[in-house]
């Protein structure tokens, strides 16, 4: 019975009337029903100066301190009874601040387009390929830096064990060429090493033939420490010769 009493033509029509659907009435809502949304009202920003004065509802929110002069004027008006002073006059309602400018965040502005269209498709593919190349380049730089640091650390560990009478491969480089030489360590002091160069006789055979001592930089000019050589033996001349069981073909060996 309750449902039947509700389902009447008057109730159905009043529902459409209140929602402003039928009959059409643009004044169905009173002004006080919009007061709750006035908090977020903002002034329209335009380049042209505004000549008309702003109403009290459009004024920006004052600070926490209220002007003493305005308060005294309101009190005097209330005492005379000539004007009805409301709380809104003393302290206007809060208003929403201006909207923040939209940030682009570094993104390229897009437009409406058909992504499967040939020119658009090619553009997207080129952007993806360039990004992939950049990522690969960054990864390669990081890999080179890490491998270089590992090589330097490994080289430092090996050269820390360097001692007198060891044999090393020395790289002497100029602007135009770079040569490698086998040398014998005579003395070590900090980062400087005193060496005697060996004369190259064959591919991996060298001999003591020089008495001059040279200073080389331990970290930049010494490539690596060589394994102990094998003495040829025999005659006095052969005793000066020694053989290193290492392939020197990968280095541009120099002849002294």
Flag whether 180 is in a domain: yes
The span from the CA of 192 to the CA of 213, in Å, is 12
Flag whether 125 is in a domain: yes
Whether residues 156 and 168 fall in one domain: no
Flag whether 32 is in a domain: no
Q: Positive or negative, the Cα torsion across 238, 244, 247, 248?
A: negative
Q: Is the pTM of this model over 0.85?
A: no
Residues of the domain holding 119: 113-160
pLDDT, tens digit, for every residue of 83-141? 677 777 788 777 777 777 766 666 777 777 777 777 888 888 888 888 887 777 666 66
Query: Quick check: 184 and 240 in contact, CB under 8 A?
Result: no
Whether residues 125 and 169 fall in one domain: no
Residue 150 confidence (pLDDT): 55
Of the pLDDT bands very low, low, confident and very high (cuts 50, 70, 90), residue 44 is low
Residue 238 confidence (pLDDT): 67
Q: How many domains in the chain?
A: 2
Flag whether 132 is in a domain: yes
Residue 161 confidence (pLDDT): 76
């Amino acid at each position: 019975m309750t449902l039947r009493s509700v389902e009447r033509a008057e109730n159905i029509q009043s529902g459409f009337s209140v929602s402003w659907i039928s009959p059409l009435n643009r004044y169905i809502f009173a002004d006080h029903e919009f007061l709750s949304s006035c908090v977020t009202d903002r002034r329209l920003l335009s380049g042209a100066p505004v000549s008309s004065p702003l109403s009290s509802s459009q004024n920006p929110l004052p600070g926490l301190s209220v002007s003493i002069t305005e308060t005294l004027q309101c009190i005097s008006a209330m005492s005379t009874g000539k004007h009805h002073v409301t709380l809104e006059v003393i302290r206007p309602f809060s208003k929403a601040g201006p909207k923040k400018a939209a940030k682009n965040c570094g993104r390229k502005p897009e437009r409406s387009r058909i992504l499967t269209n040939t020119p658009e498709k090619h553009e997207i593919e080129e952007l993806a390929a360039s990004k992939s190349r950049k990522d690969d380049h960054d990864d390669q730089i990081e890999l080179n830096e890490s491998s270089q640091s590992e090589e330097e650390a490994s080289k430092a560990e090996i050269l820390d064990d360097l001692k007198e009478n060891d044999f090393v491969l020395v790289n002497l480089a100029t602007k135009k060429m770079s040569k490698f030489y086998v040398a014998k360590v005579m003395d070590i002091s900090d980062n400087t090493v005193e060496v005697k160069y060996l004369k190259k006789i064959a591919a991996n055979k060298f001999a003591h033939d020089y008495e001059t001592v040279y200073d080389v930089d331990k970290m930049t000019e010494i490539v690596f420490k060589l394994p102990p050589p094998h003495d040829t033996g025999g005659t006095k001349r052969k005793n000066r010769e020694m053989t290193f069981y290492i392939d020197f073909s990968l280095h541009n060996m120099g002849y002294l």
